[in-house]
Amino acid sequence: MNKKIYNAPAAHTSAWIAQTWISFILSIGATSTGLLFMPGNLWMKGYMGMGLLFSVGSTASLSKTIRDMEESKRLINRVDEAKLEKLLAEHNVFHSL
């Protein structure tokens, strides 16, 4: 029987991690600066700032939830495949010959 090897996903490079953090900090900083210098009342700026914070928070929550769901599917599939391989190994008609 052909055994499959499951490799863990490769770790991100330090350059990729740095790029994502720099991009995140610059985008939040630029948007916050735009909100501060935006013409309008203080309550309008506060409302827009609150929207920015909720958008960032919900994006992080959504990405974590999607990642966790995909990881759980992978684990369930691996368990199901292991059960199937065990069942096939126990009832292998060619093994008893």
DSSP secondary structure, 33-52, as one string: HHHHTSSS-HHHHHHHHHHH
Distance CA 64, CA 30 (A): 25
Output the pLDDT for position 1: 47
Count the alpha carbons within 13 Å of 36 in the hemisphere toward its beta carbon: 6
**What are the boundaries of each domain within the chain?**
18-90
Average pLDDT, the chain: 83
The pLDDT tens digits of the residues spanning 57-96 come to 999 999 999 988 888 877 777 777 877 787 777 777 676 5
pTM above 0.75, yes or no: no
